[in-house]
Amino acid sequence: MENEQLSMFSLGPNGVIYPASEVPHLKPNALVVISNILLNGQFRLNYVEWRLIFAMLAQIEENDTEFKEYYIRVQDIIEISDLKSGSHLYEEVSKNIKSLMSHVVTWEEEPLKERFAHLISDATYYKKQGIVKLIPHPDMKPHLLQLKNQFTQAQLKQCIKFSSSYTSRIYMLLKQFDNPKAGHRVMSIDEFRFKLCLDYTEKLSKGKKLDYHIYPKYSDMRRWILEPAQKEIATTDIDFTFTPIKTGRKVTAIKFVLTRGKKVLTVKEAPEKGEELSEKEALVYGQLSTLGFTDFQIRQILHKGNLKEIHKVIYEVKTTDYNNLGKPIKNKSAYAYGIFKKKFGLT
């Protein structure tokens, strides 16, 4: 059955949308919503592609059960992003619209099981009118439609303005923890590099491959990714500081602390000397952070349990959808706290 939005438009003889005046404008305060599973996957989009994706996500309604054809006016992106001179964006969109079809998203559905899927199934650019049409890939339905829990949301006007793809990723990854129970996030260096797609392989002709390792040194990541992102994100509804966590002299993780946000409360910090973590502990630290545990609670868990036991409980929590009464688990963070409190005696 043809959806209602499609019935509003038709194509003229010159390949233009008619009537173009009926194409809805983007709403700056519209919410961009994405599941935490997909959010914590791997994306390799440039800043133009991110803006188009954010604009598409902002048009998905809370009660939608199926994807529609989502139309985006490039001029709307220019205005909402507050670009002083946005004429170049039309050319950039024209160059990048094709690549959206080829992007594959990677995420971990469970330990040792990776999932790969396309983000977009259809992309069209109507050059004469500066209008883009996007349709998400059907595999994205569980992560973009009918989200009731374990999702992250942000206002379109906050996340569409970034001039760096890395800033777009970091902003959304931090927004996941913009709540009273969190306010901070720790990622191991490996996790951070995976999420920002700093290590990837490009397939060449005749079966040849070319490996890329962008900013392999922490000092370079700090200079070219973290500090510029910190400056850009400071203009939004949140702000953050970051601190390297070292194992010996090597940086093995990064701790992000939200210093400004509408929902953030101060979290109890462990003593300064507690920052020293092994590489494996830093990885577990990051996984526990995604479940909503505070820095203080995570260090209690690491102190009271061995890594094998902790990994086992994390897997149990992530793969359990129903409680002992057979009811769906609506608040995974609260459920995780109950399980870890019982097993490790959290205070």
Structure tokens at 319: 């793969």
Q: Is 345 left (phi over 0), alpha (psi -120 to 50) or beta?
A: left
Which residue type does 279 have? E
For residues 329-336, give the mean pLDDT: 78
User: Rounded CA gap, 266 and 64, in Å?
Assistant: 36
Residue whose structure tokens are 């194992």: 247
Indicate the pTM of the whole model: 0.72
- Helices and strands in the chain: count of H runs, count of E runs: 14, 14
Structure tokens at 103: 């992007």
Q: What count of Cα atoms within 13 Å lies in the side-chain half-sphere of residue 102?
A: 5
More confident residue, 180 or 160: 160
pLDDT band at 198 (very low <50, low <70, confident <90, very high): very high
Q: Is 19 left (phi over 0), alpha (psi -120 to 50) or beta?
A: beta
Q: What is the mean pLDDT of the chain?
A: 83
- Name the percent of the chain lying above pLDDT 90: 41
Check pLDDT > 80 for residue 139.
yes
Start-to-end Cα distance in the chain: 55
For residues 31-40, give the mean pLDDT: 92
What DSSP assignment string belongs to 261-305? -TT----PPPPGGGG---HHHHHHHHHHHHTT--HHHHHHHHHHS
More confident residue, 313 or 57: 57
For residues 215-237, give the mean pLDDT: 94
Pairing of strands 151-155, 31-35: antiparallel
Q: Is 2 exposed, middle or buried, given 0-12, 13-18 or 19+ CB atoms closer than 10 A? A: exposed
More confident residue, 232 or 261: 232
Structure tokens at 102: 């080829």
- Name the percent of the chain lying above pLDDT 70: 85
pLDDT reported for residue 228: 95
pLDDT reported for residue 17: 66
pLDDT reported for residue 138: 94
Check pLDDT > 70 for residue 257.
yes
Domains of the chain, earliest start first: 1-161 (1.10.10.10)
For residues 128-156, give the mean pLDDT: 92
Check pLDDT > 80 for residue 20.
no
pLDDT reported for residue 15: 63
pLDDT reported for residue 66: 93
